[in-house]
Chains A and B, each alone.
Chain A
């Protein structure tokens, strides 16, 4: 069925709503990345198996939906039962039968599957009463967890493709661009460039062909927002791209997806097929003379290909090496044609802006950073997960109110944002509002949305080493400051972690960083020293501890630590077998002995000891 007018779309939406209303109950099984890893496929299969044998009145297999990420990955696998919004967490296959027999058949709540508030120890019945969700505003993530991403009807029911109808039949491209400009939305991929201005420039360039590209490369090694959107709500990305293509006058658009995201690719293909079938893509969309095809281009696993000019080379089948910035890709991009490149989350916001207006969008967030931002909140926090908050929310609110504070009651040390180009902020920066400009000023950056919380067991020098190693591996090697500079900087940081550096080295490193920033061609090199610079700025003590005292306060750097057994040892023998080098000897009920000569400091004993009897010194 082709939808070629707004009326038809509304009629279809009505139909979908009615069909949905017939489902007395809906069981949403989370298929987000975290829950997939935690085994949600088995949970779903079990539901199918039970339903095949047992009739449940109105509830049929249609009532079971595989949804995108619900957010609270920490507690997966998650099962949410609508319309009540009953939130079951850490569901095991053995408990599926109970859910069917008790909750679905009789409406009984299973207490032990409910989320437990870690502070009050009370069980929470409903989704939206959980602290984790209360402070969030979900715009880009609006449909995640509520729809089956492979079902276009689910999307249409929740106002899907309304913006396409509105824009194509009632607005000129210029009006669309003005609305996007009015909204003030800035790119969510890290740079924070105003999307409206980018679109306007592209449209203004004289050319017969223009392209729109969606950046789904998500190279930040601690982030999964874009992946969750592409997997859990692919139509929202397509819809945003259709609007953008109409605004700039593109006939073909591309989504560049990371090699490691096969499920995202699969859902996007399905979404493109369905959108085509219903006339949202292809020839004469909405009965107008606007036509568009969206193609998928799979990345080859190179971080630098997230950079705009490298990405465009990669789409064209070449080696992804960036080029100098004075040629702008909005003017000369893919195949040298004017090209708009935006991030997945940026596109996912566009339909909302079109439907509700730029004024509405800018009423959320701060003056210069409008709207919301999605983050993957991970590391040493209680509630690891996918979140979205209005810009301007403080780091403290995110980490403590939403994230539930530091895991195991430990002490906060730093929060890292911005991925390998970003930096680490200490405790006294926790009250900073999260927006593009504030984080940059503080020496970190917003980035695409990875937010990693670190506790006192983390070594900041080790963190700098980690990111630098990542960048050394990922530098495309085109220019010397980045290729050789980062390599040397990494080597020097390694020297610090080995306790072999001097204070003069630290100065040399700061000096070198300056030149890497000045001389590198693309953003990778230009922001490459950031992980070092921000840690040395806020955690200089820790560098000095390594250099002068030859100690690693975080207990991480192997050359500077020693494992010792203290008198809390009960002689339980639990650590003897795990030690790969047989460095621990002892008998039951007697304090064990650790042979420092043999110890490789792998940490196996520390991990298994239940009595805190292993000290890291």
Chain B
């Protein structure tokens, strides 16, 4: 279930940066921001526009965690796994979220509803453990509350 990609739009995004190899990361970031993932067309177009071998584009796209080669869900549930959150029980919250969504961290539900991610310290350690769903922060998360948070988002749809 891959979304259609408008190649003209892709070219337009690529054209914003200087057309040289050193723009590679910046270009991929722009594409990622727009489409929330790097479609195969993006890798090809970027490669020919910047004059970087396909293999190298692919290598950069898979090295950095900011890039995703899979389409992402409508909602993102991010669980902080920073040190402060870890010692205050973040692993339990993650496990609950994985159970609730039926996916592992880093994956997207097949209906493209949710993407589950782990992040490191978001600077809100005072409220550890922290879960962020879309832009909303939930602090002092208790394991039993994960279901309610996710249901809340589901209900809003």
A residues within 8 Å of B by Cβ?
Answer: 32-34, 36-39, 73-76, 219-224, 227-228, 259-260, 297-302, 314, 316-320, 376, 378-380, 384-385, 416, 419, 450, 452, 454, 458, 463, 466-467, 470, 476, 577-580, 602-604, 607-608
* Given A34-B126, A223-B121: A378 in contact with B60 (beta carbons within 8 A): no
**A317 lies within 8 A of B64 (CB):** no
A-B residue pairs, 7 tightest by C-beta: A33-B123, A300-B64, A578-B144, A222-B83, A37-B124, A221-B120, A224-B123
Chain B residues whose CB sits within 8 angstroms of the CB of A379 once the complex forms: 83-84, 87-88, 125
Chain B residues whose CB sits within 8 angstroms of the CB of A317 once the complex forms: 21-26, 60
* Contact stretch, chosen from B4-12, B69-77, B135-143, B149-157: B135-143
**B124 lies within 8 A of A34 (CB):** yes
| Measured CA separation A463–B84 after assembly (Å) | 11
| Measured CA separation A69–B142 after assembly (Å) | 26
**B29 lies within 8 A of A602 (CB):** no
Find residues 71-118 in chain B having any chain A CB closer than 8 Å to their own CB: 81-84, 86-89, 92, 95-96, 99
Q: How many residues of B contact A (CB 8 A)?
A: 44
**A34 lies within 8 A of B87 (CB):** no
**B139 lies within 8 A of A37 (CB):** yes
In the assembled complex, how far is the CB of residue B53 from the closest CB belonging to chain A, in whole angstroms? 12
| Measured CA separation A458–B95 after assembly (Å) | 19
* Given A302-B63, A317-B23: A602 in contact with B92 (beta carbons within 8 A): yes
| Measured CA separation A19–B65 after assembly (Å) | 46
Chain B residues whose CB sits within 8 angstroms of the CB of A297 once the complex forms: 25-26
**A376 lies within 8 A of B125 (CB):** yes
| Measured CA separation A320–B64 after assembly (Å) | 8
| Measured CA separation A391–B144 after assembly (Å) | 42
Could you jot down 20 A-B contacts, CB within 8 Å?
A: A34-B126, A38-B126, A38-B127, A221-B81, A299-B64, A300-B64, A302-B65, A316-B22, A317-B21, A317-B23, A317-B24, A318-B24, A319-B56, A319-B59, A319-B60, A376-B123, A380-B88, A384-B126, A452-B84, A607-B142
Chain B residues whose CB sits within 8 angstroms of the CB of A298 once the complex forms: 25-26, 29
Q: Which of B25, B67, B99, B125 contacts A34 (CB 8 A)?
A: B125
B residues within 8 Å of A by Cβ?
Answer: 21-26, 29, 56, 59-60, 63-67, 81-84, 86-89, 92, 95-96, 99, 119-128, 130, 137, 139, 142-144, 147
Number of inter-chain CB pairs below 8 Å = 160
Chain A residues whose CB sits within 8 angstroms of the CB of B123 once the complex forms: 32-34, 36-37, 73, 224, 227-228, 376
**B87 lies within 8 A of A608 (CB):** no
Considering only CB atoms, which chain A residue lies closest to B59 in the complex?
A319
**A34 lies within 8 A of B127 (CB):** yes
**B84 lies within 8 A of A604 (CB):** no
In the assembled complex, how far is the CB of residue A466 from the closest CB belonging to chain B, in whole angstroms? 5
* Given A73-B124, A317-B25: A300 in contact with B87 (beta carbons within 8 A): no
In the assembled complex, how far is the CB of residue A606 from the closest CB belonging to chain B, in whole angstroms? 9
Chain A residues whose CB sits within 8 angstroms of the CB of B82 once the complex forms: 221-222
Chain B residues whose CB sits within 8 angstroms of the CB of A385 once the complex forms: 126
Chain A residues whose CB sits within 8 angstroms of the CB of B119 once the complex forms: 260
**A608 lies within 8 A of B126 (CB):** no
Chain B residues whose CB sits within 8 angstroms of the CB of A450 once the complex forms: 83, 121
Considering only CB atoms, which chain B residue lies closest to A321 in the complex?
B63
* Given A76-B126, A384-B126, A602-B95: A301 in contact with B121 (beta carbons within 8 A): no
List 6 additional A-B contacts (Cβ < 8 Å) besides A36-B123, A259-B64, A300-B29: A37-B127, A220-B121, A378-B128, A603-B89, A604-B142, A607-B142
